[in-house]
Structure 1
Amino acid sequence: MTLSNLQTVEILVTNKKLDDLKILHLSDLHINKKTTISQIEELINICNDLVFDFCVITGDIIDTKVKFIKEKLEILNKLKGKVYYISGNHDLFYGLEDLEKGLFNFIFMDNICNVIIYKNEIIHIAGLPDRFSKFFKIKREENKIKKYLLNEPSILLAHQPKDYKIALNSNANLFLCGHTHGGQIYPFHYLVRLVQPFIAGIFYKKNTAIYVNKGIGTWGINFRYKADAEITILKLISKSVK
């Protein structure tokens, strides 16, 4: 787990009700047996010193069974404010039900539609299980989520960038995801690009802003090259604001 790259990213959105909204976006923590309690505590301290309206975590929180990292997961519950999260493929593999129990202070968003009140306005937020959920006999309720996201303004959370088309087809204002680790080790970026439409950063398609978070943790080997880990504040700016 690397905590070196704290950044604020400005994202243009098409709905003025989202103007100046600040979202703490975390992804791909990959907490495992080697992750230390001090690393988790440092992450929480860094995040709790930041100014944001709510937090989202776009999957792959764990990289081992919860029973081995229960104490570490409990520390995550100290993250301030509302925290919305969805499943990643590693969460599904190592035990989503146990993860939900461990993150008792978070809001689980797989197949869930919710609302956030911001400056007396309603923001519609929805989440989808990871695309591997079918292998775990978990249904992705895409039609329900698509219909809900037609309400404006709206935000979709999913683990993989591949789900961006759901956001586009629903005219969602913002789509947040992770999964890619930004390629993690250059030049593996090119391999990732063969299977994912986006690797990292901001992209705009139609009326939807897309942000792919490079994540905090690593997978396979604890090393990154030209794909720094990130803790990111997304500051939304309405195109209509002069």
Structure 2
Amino acid sequence: MTETRQRPRAARRARFGVVVVTALLLLFGVPWATLVLPWQAAVVAVGTVVFAVAAAGFPFLMFLGHARGRDWAARTGDTLLGVVWVLFAWSSLGLVARLAQAPSRFVAVTVLVVGVVLVAWGVYEAMRVPRVRRTEVTLPRLGPGLDGTTVVVLTDTHYGPINRTRWSERTAAAVNALTPDIVVHAGDIADGTVAQRLTQAAPLGTVTARYARGYVTGNHEYFGEAQEWLDHMASLGWEPLHNRHVVIERGGDRLVLAGVDDATAKASGLDGHGAQLDAALAGAPDDAAVVLVAHQPRQVAETAGHVDLQVSGHTHGGQIWPFHYLVRVDQPSVQGLSQHGPTQLYTSRGAGFWGPPMRIFAPSEITLLTLRSPAA
């Protein structure tokens, strides 16, 4: 019986190994072929060694960084991933140019220059304070007393191996400068434990809102300490929208601000976690508009028709072009406002970054939603 169980496990490991090796060969091999092969033998020899060492070291850096919690390895591996992804994307385009008879050395130099410029720009875009993106959303059930209510969406801060305490302080100040009625954090606060990212997350305690500050878990919380992050956010004065809601009243009208756990919560096996829309809306007034915070846009498949507006993050807008094409396979929206039956969905590109400290053609954002009543 034991031998029978071990065979499928060994087969899965073998398939996983083949996938990893194939991905590494493509990711590092295409840039190698584009940038190195067109040159004389000495350059080819040196370039081959550089790419081979990088490809061999990359899995170990990612394992040490993300499985063992070594921040130095995560910083190195993540940066290497960003650089090689940019070179892979543009080298692929370069190979197309070579098929069209473009000189191979011209293509190599062009890809290298474009890659260097995009990596430098991408790092700058990732490290700057997010720009404010303003959008008006009309909710048919929103009473006139709540017309003009502002909701600031902060999501995917991803405090991690790079210490961004100063960035966190400046981002919190940018949120406060908007004097919002409501602030929501739509998940993926950090990569790591509360203890590891305590200093970086501390400025979230300075965020202010006139009526409410709500927080829901993202998928990255379920890589480690989801409940601890919920408790910590509560200690900072945020309302954990852990499958629950709060009611906001103004001008004689009411708005329901609800939240559900991330789509991955149930599979985590953590007691009391798992997206439960019924629990989140239990006891909510029937005549009030509902704004629901759910980390992943694909959760709209369950919430459509039950809420007026879903606010999500998770996608990062693709983060590094052309990754948004892959994101679109998994999610119904990559960024911005979209309609899903009677429910509207706003997908934020997020404030931070995951993995590579870069954003290329996917700028970060702090979202300012202004809710409008058709009766106002």
TM-score (normalizing by structure 2): 0.60
Give 1:147 shift: 5.8
Task: Indicate the SS of the match to 2:329.
Answer: helix
2:139 aligned partner: 13
Matched residues in 2 for 1:30 and 1:22: separation?
Answer: 24
**Aligned-residue CA RMSD in angstroms?**
1.8
2:357 aligned partner: 222
Deviates most, 1-10 or 108-117: 1-10
Task: Indicate the SS of the match to 1:97.
Answer: helix
More strand by share: 1
| Number of positions where the alignment pairs a residue of Structure 1 with one of Structure 2 | 240
Identical columns (%):
28
With CA pairs under 8 Å and 6+ residues apart, which has the higher RCO, 1 or 2?
1
Matched, 1:127 2:259: yes
Larger Rg, first or second structure (1 or 2):
2
Find the partner of 2:304 among 138, 155, 168: 168
Matched, 1:102 2:232: yes
Say whether the 8 Å CA contact 1:12–1:209 is kept in structure 2.
no
Task: Indicate the SS of the match to 1:186.
Answer: coil
Instruction: Pick closer, same or farther for the CA change 1:33–1:136 going to 2, 3 Å.
Output: same
Misfit runs of 4+, over 6 Å: none
2:373 aligned partner: 238
Unaligned residue ranges in structure 1 (runs of 5+) = none
Tell me the alpha carbon deviations over residues 101-143 of structure 1, each in whole angstroms, 9 at most, x when there is no partner.
Answer: 3221111012112212233322112211111112222233233
2:220 aligned partner: 90
1:178 aligned partner: 313
Matched residues in 2 for 1:219 and 1:72: separation?
Answer: 15
Task: Indicate the SS of the match to 1:117.
Answer: strand
1:38 aligned partner: 166
Say whether the 8 Å CA contact 1:2–1:217 is kept in structure 2.
no
Matched, 1:158 2:286: no
Unaligned residue ranges in structure 2 (runs of 5+) = 1-126
Instruction: Pick closer, same or farther for the CA change 1:193–1:70 going to 2, 3 Å.
Output: same
Say whether the 8 Å CA contact 1:184–1:226 is kept in structure 2.
yes
Say whether the 8 Å CA contact 1:14–1:207 is kept in structure 2.
no
Say whether the 8 Å CA contact 1:113–1:148 is kept in structure 2.
no
Say whether the 8 Å CA contact 1:149–1:155 is kept in structure 2.
no
More helix by share: 2
Tell me the alpha carbon deviations over residues 172-202 of structure 1, each in whole angstroms, 9 at most, x when there is no partner.
Answer: 1111001000111111111001010110000
Matched residues in 1 for 2:277 and 2:238: separation?
Answer: 22
Matched residues in 1 for 2:277 and 2:133: separation?
Answer: 32
Deviates most, 101-110 or 226-235: 101-110
Matched residues in 2 for 1:118 and 1:205: separation?
Answer: 28
